[in-house]
A and B are shown apart, each in its own frame.
Chain A
Amino acid sequence: MRWCDEERDTFLEGVRASLPLMLGVIPFALICGIASMDAGLPVWQALVIPLVIFAGAAQLAVTHLFVIGAPAMVMVVTALVINLRFVMYSASIAPHFRQVPGRWRPLLSYLLSDQAFALSLTKFNQREGCRYPLAYTLGTGVPVFFVWHLFNGLGVLLGAGVPESWGLDFGVPLTFMALLVPAVQDRPTLVAALVSGITAVGASGLPYGLNIIFAALLGVGGGLLFDAKAERRPA
């Protein structure tokens, strides 16, 4: 790998762009580490699982399913559904990486976190564009990776020491709430969010945390239905 100066500058530009987002990454990673210890996982698993999954929301959900004794199938399908958003990221960012050689693509795919995606697409869609999209996206993705594992590790260290009365587990739904707000952009996404939120509570009687999958699918269905109706209406 030989990068020209301009590529290196682009990489560093990505690094700098990612720094403010660490305010959201750090507490999320801490909570993941603490949740792993609360779930009674061995320390090596608490450190290796985020390397394997590298997606906080899915990791937290799967860890929760482990605690309530859900079957393996439900865990895998829940992770699949929660991470379906990455398929959307992948599709919308791929046109910018047409020139990227195959050997970089596994790393690029692995590092495509919410943060790296959001920063990259914003940059690529600017009028001046970006000459080295690979360098930029890696620049945003690499710091997220290291900060994530550093603070997950710190969470693992703290894990057992944090008293339950602090209610730090409440940070998990709060994080999702903060991520939800920018995801609601128009009426169809609002309908999807409302249907999902109500269904998750209404269907909580379903065994093994299946209410999450059910709520997500019904939410997408509701949003699509609303979308189709809105299109048929004359503008």
Chain B
Amino acid sequence: MSHGLFFFVVLLCGAVTFSERGAFLLFPSDKEPHPRLAKGLRLVPAAVLPALVTPALFMPDGALDLSPSNLRLLAGVVALAIALWKRSVFLTLVSGLTALWFFQWVSGWL
């Protein structure tokens, strides 16, 4: 895809995002989402985010790798523990990246 076409797609994505944010805000009204829709929407963040995480941890090079030589999986476990404990984006990032660098350094010695 050319950069020009990509930018056009980005404009579409921006319009979609704006419409989603404005779905119940853009026009003053008392309408509420259908209860079933509301139930589904509530689950969206929990259902979207793992799909962006697990492939990067379990298949960093494109194939499933559960061995201890998969340093990103090891670092991810460390980061998850910190995320559950501290509930901080910043500390999760710092601990995950530090763990990755540490494991890279150790595996350089082995």
Chain A residues engaging chain B, CB cutoff 8 angstroms:
23-24, 27-28, 41-42, 45, 48-49, 52-55, 57-58, 60-62, 66, 69, 72, 75-76, 79-91, 93-94, 97-98, 100, 102, 105-106, 108-110, 112, 165-168, 170-185, 188-190, 192-201, 204, 211-212, 215-220, 222-224, 227
Considering residues A28, A181, A215, A219, which has the most beta carbons from chain B within 10 angstroms of its beta carbon? A181
Contacts of A179 in B (CB 8 A): 45, 49, 89
In the complex, A87→B33 CA distance in Å? 9
Q: How large is the interface on B (under 10, 10 to 19, 20 to 34, 35 or more residues)?
A: 35 or more
Contacts of B100 in A (CB 8 A): 167, 170
For B34-70 the 0/1 string (1 means CB < 8 A from A) is: 0000111111111111111111111100001000000
Residue B26 at the chain A interface, CB threshold 8 Å: yes
In the complex, A112→B76 CA distance in Å? 29
- A91→B46 contact, CB < 8 A: no
Q: Give min CB distance, A213 to chain B, whole Å.
A: 8
- B38→A98 contact, CB < 8 A: no
Contacts of B12 in A (CB 8 A): 72, 76
Contacts of B10 in A (CB 8 A): 45, 49, 52-53, 62
- A88→B90 contact, CB < 8 A: no
- B25→A93 contact, CB < 8 A: yes
Q: Give min CB distance, B35 to chain A, whole Å.
A: 11
Q: In the A-B complex, list the 5 residue pairs whose CB atoms are closest, starting with the nearest.
A: A24-B89, A219-B47, A197-B50, A109-B22, A52-B14
- A76→B53 contact, CB < 8 A: no
In the complex, A45→B45 CA distance in Å? 27
- B41→A91 contact, CB < 8 A: yes
- B25→A177 contact, CB < 8 A: no
- B23→A91 contact, CB < 8 A: yes
